[in-house]
Chain A
Amino acid sequence: MASIGSRHVAPHRASVLGITTVAGIRGAMPVLGIATFFGAWTLATSLKLAPPTFLPSPLAVLHSMVELTQIPYAGSTLQQHLMASLEKFGISFAAAVLLGVPFGLIMGRSNLMKWALSPLFEGFRFVPPIAWVPFAIFWFGTGFLAPTLVIFAGAFAPCVINSYRGAQLIERHLIEASQTLGAGRWRTFTEILLPAALTHIVAGVRVGAGFGWQSLIGAELIVGSTGLGYMIVQAGSNLQPAIVISGMITIGIAGASIDYLMRAIQHGMRRKWAH
């Protein structure tokens, strides 16, 4: 019935019986998908297919997550670890944006600067951010500051590249017009260059935030004594997978929130500068 009906009826309209339309099946698929995921997870743990030291049940993870917010683990509670990670991220991400954007804009507007700086930048760009960890330890010790260099290395390149592209794509007559009207270098930079390249810049900053957050977690796995990365690596070596997964979920939520914030800024900018 349904297969015959679906041929003649528009896919989104309910069939006469209203039970199994194409649209209905499609609507149910996401629910089914999520249910399969959690169902398989619960089943695997409750049938002891995976021992609890290997994979804890979803409920055990939820329980440990609630517990982590009250009882400190590896020196701090979950929210303290989260704040420590966010603090490191905030400091060096801000530094990467504040240095990377002007760097890219200058390279995009001046051939001389581009020729001088691009070989150095290309060399730097191909080193994976995590590979800076040993030097980060040599330069900043094993304390709070060590991961900041790694985050900076992750976030800097996307900021530079997109600002560079943004600056190159600006229409020449805009710059020439402003110079004819007597704008100096600084005013041209702040009032023409920056706004015109802004959508590109914000896109790069968003990519940079993603890389920076990943690099932070990687750095915290290796060095430091606070943060979510530190927490999960400690829990891993203590064979406490429920705490590891709780940390991973927190990392996921925080990363998604940062990206959401960046996207909101991106949309806001687009609306503001579209006219």
Chain B
Amino acid sequence: MTPRQDRSVPLRWIVSGSSVALLFAAWYLVTGPLGLVSSLKFPAPLDAYDSLIRLIRSPGYADGILAQHILSSTELVLIGFLLATATGVPLGLLMGRNRLVDGYVNPVFQLIRPIAPIAWIPLTILWFGLGMGAKLFVIWLAAFAPAVINTYTGVRNIETIVIQAARVHGASSKEMLFDVVIPGALPSIFTGLRTSLQACWMVLVAAELVGSFVGLGHIMIIASRDLDSGMILVAMICVALLGVLMSAGLTYVERYAIPWRR
């Protein structure tokens, strides 16, 4: 490390830190002392803090405390995401390895895929009602397509020589799948799962905003009816943090699953 680089590291933190501090100062000033933005447009920092405390303590807000809302939303995303992984990855593997299946399934897939998963929400509510079922279905749908496509691409991009070498050395079809194809496609599969996870949160929030009884999106809807901007901000930050946490969890799993990629 040269001294020049050493000097730029603290500078970086000073710049980033002061930029964030500036944002918070501006937030405090325009919502509080300067009174430029009314609490109907954006909450003051202290209002948001009050909302957070109100949400955490026992009666909570919108029929539950924060932990219950978080649990409900997280549960839906997690189950929907796992279902999509458990169905999408095998289908992608099958389509990547078998041309007949590819030819059979791909056109139907291409026919349905352009319809944004969010656009399925009214139909699924009509089918399953406002409970868990409708939300699980749309979350599954949103996560399914990226899982299939990236698995498929991953399998297709494995070099033919690798496959041929395995075959020449007498790999059984089971060995071929578990020792050659899946490890070869794993980096691409994880890229797909990352996209899937992001899509899950997006669709969940949309579905909860359209209609729900519990969850972070439900908080937002009730709060916008009550004109409680502080509560909306708290719910938004919770959604963002949960997204970051789950994405970090996926990175952890990825490191464990693909040790050769560090």
Contacts and interface: CB of A to CB of B under 8 A. Distances in A.
Interface of A: 25-27, 29-30, 32-34, 36-37, 54, 111-112, 115-120, 123, 126-135, 137-139, 213-215, 217-218, 221-222, 228-229, 232-233, 235-237, 239, 241, 244-245, 247-249, 251-253, 255-256, 259
Given A135-B232, A232-B119, A30 B202 contact: no
29 contacts: A25-B100, A26-B99, A29-B102, A30-B106, A33-B103, A115-B16, A116-B16, A119-B16, A119-B20, A128-B202, A128-B239, A132-B236, A134-B220, A134-B232, A135-B236, A138-B40, A138-B42, A213-B116, A214-B116, A214-B117, A214-B202, A221-B210, A236-B122, A236-B123, A248-B119, A248-B123, A252-B112, A255-B116, A259-B114
Interface residues of B, number: 58
Interface string B222-262: 01100101001001100111011000000000000000000
Contact of A245 (B11, B123, B125, B210): B123
Contacts of B240: 123, 126-128, 131
Contacts of B18: 116
B232 A128 contact: no
A215 B16 CA distance: 30
Contact of A127 (B16, B229, B239): B239
A130 B206 contact: yes
A133 B239 CA distance: 13
Given A54-B127, A233-B210, A120 B20 contact: yes
Nearest to A255: B114
Contacts of A131: 205, 217, 220, 235-236, 239-240
Interface of B: 8, 11-12, 15-16, 18-20, 23, 40-42, 99-100, 102-108, 111-112, 114-123, 125-127, 198, 201-202, 205-206, 209-210, 217, 220-221, 223-224, 227, 229, 232, 235-236, 239-241, 243-244
Given A54-B127, A138-B229, A139-B41, A130 B209 contact: yes
A256 to B, nearest CB: 4
B108 A37 contact: yes
A229 B119 contact: yes
Contacts of A256: 114
Nearest to A221: B210
Contacts of B210: 221-222, 233
Given A130-B205, A131-B220, A236-B121, 5 more contacts: A120-B20, A128-B201, A130-B206, A232-B119, A252-B119
Contacts of B108: 33-34, 36-37
A112 B11 CA distance: 9
B119 A26 contact: no
Given A116-B19, A133-B209, A229-B119, A218 B12 contact: no
Given A33-B104, A34-B111, A244-B123, A128 B205 contact: yes
Nearest to A126: B240
Nearest to A33: B104
Closest 4 CB pairs of A and B: A29-B103, A236-B122, A252-B115, A115-B15
* Residue from the set A116, A247, A253 with the largest chain B CB neighbour count within 10 Å: A116
B248 to A, nearest CB: 11
B100 A126 contact: no
Contact of A32 (B8, B15, B19, B104): B104
B187 to A, nearest CB: 19
Given A34-B111, A134-B223, A135-B232, A244 B122 contact: yes
B126 A239 contact: yes
Contact of A118 (B16, B202, B221): B16
A120 B26 CA distance: 13
Contacts of B244: 126
Given A29-B103, A133-B209, A127 B236 contact: yes
A237 B232 CA distance: 26
B15 A116 contact: yes
Contacts of B224: 134, 137-138
Contacts of A34: 107-108, 111
